[in-house]
């Protein structure tokens, strides 16, 4: 499984490196601010790319993002006040009598205070980009390159695919559909494989493995060549309901592990296709699946170095 990835979150990199066009309309729909709407989960780097918007549409998206940021900052400040009050109350109680509740309140409040402070710092930070700014987890949106109207197009999609015919209730029963196994493409993924292909570009992918003492560890895998990974994906557009916009979502395809990944303790590896296969992958022929498997078989093997993630 590809547990998470540090992706190219700035759509401008896709435009520059791949000659792709941004789907401004889909980004505008995603970021449209409405007080009754839950903020979409997006990486900071994807948000911040619009700060340098050159068109009217891009600048309007940035204004929507600023509204979301102001709302998030207000909530974080309220949380900081609430938890600081909780911490002070618990500390005063401990001076009189040590109780488990007071100790737990101190622990929980301290953690939540740190989280709120980090949230506020991230919202206010305008430079010095950090690796976490571009990291996506299941349920988080990322730019995905697809083929549309005769060209490469960048659309924001949720990393957790809702398969054709599924509802939100159905997808909750299958929480692993952010990855698509190669050996399941013609069964579980048959409605998308050969039809709706995409590429997510990433510099690092992360996996959960068992540590030496049986504890869970998160390893970060990076190509030794330092080349960005062109991760083969499948995507779907699900109709919205009750007035909600359509949902774009996707999954990364995984294959048997590279030897060094297996040696590190994980049993799957993303499919990192070669640049010369980009358009062939994005413009699939459902009547010639053999050609698609040939792209997989000719994938890049850069040797994935790993380290313990922070």
Residue 25 exposed, middle or buried by CB count within 10 Å (0-12, 13-18, 19+):
exposed
Looking only at the bridges linking them, the beta strands covering 135-136 and 229-238 are unpaired
Ramachandran sector of residue 53 (left: φ over 0; alpha: ψ -120 to 50; beta: rest): beta
Looking only at the bridges linking them, the beta strands covering 179-181 and 247-255 are parallel
End-to-end Cα separation, the chain, in angstroms: 19
CB-based contact 272:299 (threshold 8 Å): yes
Query: d(Cα 50, Cα 69) in Å, to the nearest integer?
Result: 13
3-class secondary-structure state, position 202: strand
Tokens standing for residue 225: 């060549």
- Give φ, ψ of 86 to 5 degrees: -60, -40
What integer pLDDT is reported at residue 35 of this predicted model? 77
Closest CA to 293 of 261, 271, 275: 271
What integer pLDDT is reported at residue 34 of this predicted model? 86
pLDDT in tens, the chain (310 residues): 678 999 999 999 999 999 999 999 999 999 999 877 889 999 999 999 999 888 999 999 999 999 999 999 999 999 999 999 999 999 999 999 999 999 999 999 999 999 999 999 999 998 888 999 999 999 999 999 999 999 999 999 999 999 999 999 999 999 999 999 999 999 999 999 999 999 999 999 999 998 888 889 999 999 999 999 999 999 999 998 877 899 999 999 999 999 999 999 999 999 999 999 999 999 999 999 999 999 999 999 999 999 999 7
What integer pLDDT is reported at residue 1 of this predicted model? 61
pTM attached to this predicted model: 0.93
Domains and CATH numbers, the chain: 4-29+129-308 (3.90.1680.10)
């Amino acid at each position: 499984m590809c547990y998470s990835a540090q992706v190219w979150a700035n759509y401008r990199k896709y435009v520059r490196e791949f000659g792709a066009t941004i789907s401004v309309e889909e980004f505008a729909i995603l970021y449209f601010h409405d007080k009754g709407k839950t903020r979409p989960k997006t990486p900071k780097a994807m948000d911040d790319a619009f700060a340098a918007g050159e068109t009217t549409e891009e600048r309007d998206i940035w204004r929507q993002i600023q509204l979301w940021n102001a709302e998030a900052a207000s909530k974080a400040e309220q949380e900081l006040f609430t938890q600081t009050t909780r911490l002070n109350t618990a500390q005063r109680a401990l001076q009189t009598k040590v109780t488990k509740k007071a100790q737990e309140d101190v622990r929980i409040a301290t953690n939540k205070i740190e989280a709120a402070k980090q949230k506020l710092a991230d919202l206010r930070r305008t430079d010095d980009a950090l690796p976490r700014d571009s990291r996506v987890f299941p349920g988080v949106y990322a730019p995905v390159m697809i083929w549309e109207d005769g060209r490469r197009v960048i659309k924001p999609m949720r990393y957790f695919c809702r398969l054709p015919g599924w509802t939100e209730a159905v997808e909750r029963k299958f929480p692993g559909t952010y990855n698509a196994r190669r050996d399941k493409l013609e069964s579980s993924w048959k409605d998308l494989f050969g039809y709706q292909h995409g590429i997510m570009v990433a510099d690092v992918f992360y996996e959960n493995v068992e540590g030496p003492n049986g504890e869970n560890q998160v390893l970060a895998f990076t190509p030794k060549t330092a080349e960005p990974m062109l991760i083969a994906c499948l995507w779907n557009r699900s109709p919205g309901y009750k007035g909600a916009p359509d949902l774009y979502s996707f999954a990364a395809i995984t294959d048997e592990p590279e030897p060094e990944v297996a040696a590190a303790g994980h049993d799957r590896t993303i499919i990192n296709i070669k640049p010369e296969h980009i358009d062939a992958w994005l413009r699939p022929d459902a009547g010639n699946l053999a050609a698609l498997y040939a792209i997989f078989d000719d994938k890049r093997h850069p040797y994935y170095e790993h380290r313990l993630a922070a």
